[in-house]
Amino acid sequence: MNHTTPIGLLLPFARAKVLTDALAWHPLVRTLDALVLDDTGTSEHHLLLRHPALAGCVLYLVHDGESRLVAESPAQWQTLLAQAIAAGCALVELHPAQAPLAPDQPALQALLQGAEHHDNDSTLLTTLLPSLDLEQADQGWLNTLATNEDFYLGEALARTICLRPAPELLPLAERCRQHPHPQVAQAGQLAVRAVRKAMHQEDSNKYP
The pLDDT of 22-33, averaged and rounded, is 95
User: What does the pLDDT average to over 120-127?
Assistant: 88
Predicted local distance difference test score (pLDDT) of residue 208:
56
Q: Do 176 and 185 form a contact (C-beta atoms < 8 A)? A: yes
pLDDT of 2 higher than 70 = no
3-state class (DSSP) for residue 188: helix
Using the predicted structure, report yes or no on whether residue 169 has a pLDDT greater than 50: yes
Q: What is the mean pLDDT of the chain?
A: 92
Beta-bridge partners for 46: 60
Each residue's pLDDT tens digit, 41-74: 888 999 999 999 999 999 999 988 899 999 999 9
- C-beta pairs of 163-168 under 8 Å, 24+ apart in sequence: 163/98, 163/99, 163/130, 164/98, 164/133, 164/134, 164/135, 165/191, 165/194, 165/195, 165/197, 165/198, 166/134, 166/135, 166/195, 166/198, 167/195, 167/198, 167/199, 167/202, 168/135
Q: Indicate the SS3 state at residue 62.
A: coil
**Would you state the pLDDT for residue 1?**
42
